[in-house]
Amino acid sequence: MGAQQLREALKRTGGAVCDDCLFTPAGYSRRQGVRSACRRMASAGLASRGSGVCSECGRTKTVTTLSALPVVSGPGSSADAARAWTWEGNVQAHIAAHLARQGFGLRQVVDTASKAPGVDIIAEREGRELWITVKGYPAGTARTNPATQSRHWFSHAMFDVVRYRTERRDIDLGVGLPDSFVSYANLAKKAAWLKESAPFTFFWVAEDGSVKEE
């Protein structure tokens, strides 16, 4: 039994899973074995571990969530875009790791590579939920340059803020974006009124993986 088998079990179960619900699907005979393996994965940055609601039994326990790391295939494939630090999946993974270090339990980290539906990141700390929508920075297309396309992506993120706030009044909200892009910085300034009306936090991810909250 190794990390790969544990990763596959986490993929199959999905969401955040407690040790009691994970050790059998992962092929372990004892709970202590899967607990040690999950701790090693968390230390290596392959998973996040903390207090949260188990997606299998629904109880609040110590749960493990597979990190949203990019899956890259051979050169020249469409997955090459995942190698850029500005790719949405990389931005999401760095924010998830940042939250785990801050003591959050990760309840949901959706698979951005497969364009899975749902809130990109749902985290919880001390009974308070945090929903984060994440965008990368576009490479552009033959018809649309990156700066123009980034404005569309930013507007989608702002719509998510409005939608999530309408859906839930009792949660905290966040928007995750790659840092160091003039278009996003300027748009963030223009969205200051929304930030005051429907409070949320910007999570700016730098190329080195560090995260700044604003």
In a domain, 118, yes or no: yes
For residue 200, pLDDT over 50 is answered with: yes
Q: What's the whole-model pTM score?
A: 0.65
Residue (of 196, 81, 96) closest to 137 by Cα position: 81
One domain for residues 88 and 192: yes
- Condensed to tens digits (0 to 9), the pLDDT of residues 123-162 reads 999 999 999 999 999 887 777 788 899 999 999 999 999 9
One domain for residues 116 and 184: yes
Question: Which residues form the domain of 133?
Answer: 81-213
Secondary structure element (H or E) that encloses residue 133, with its range: strand 128-134
Quote the CA–CA distance of 199 and 58 in Å, as a whole number: 29
Domains of the chain: total: 2
One domain for residues 50 and 93: no
One domain for residues 100 and 206: yes
One domain for residues 48 and 93: no
In a domain, 75, yes or no: no
- Condensed to tens digits (0 to 9), the pLDDT of residues 51-99 reads 777 878 878 888 888 765 443 333 333 443 445 889 998 899 899 989 9
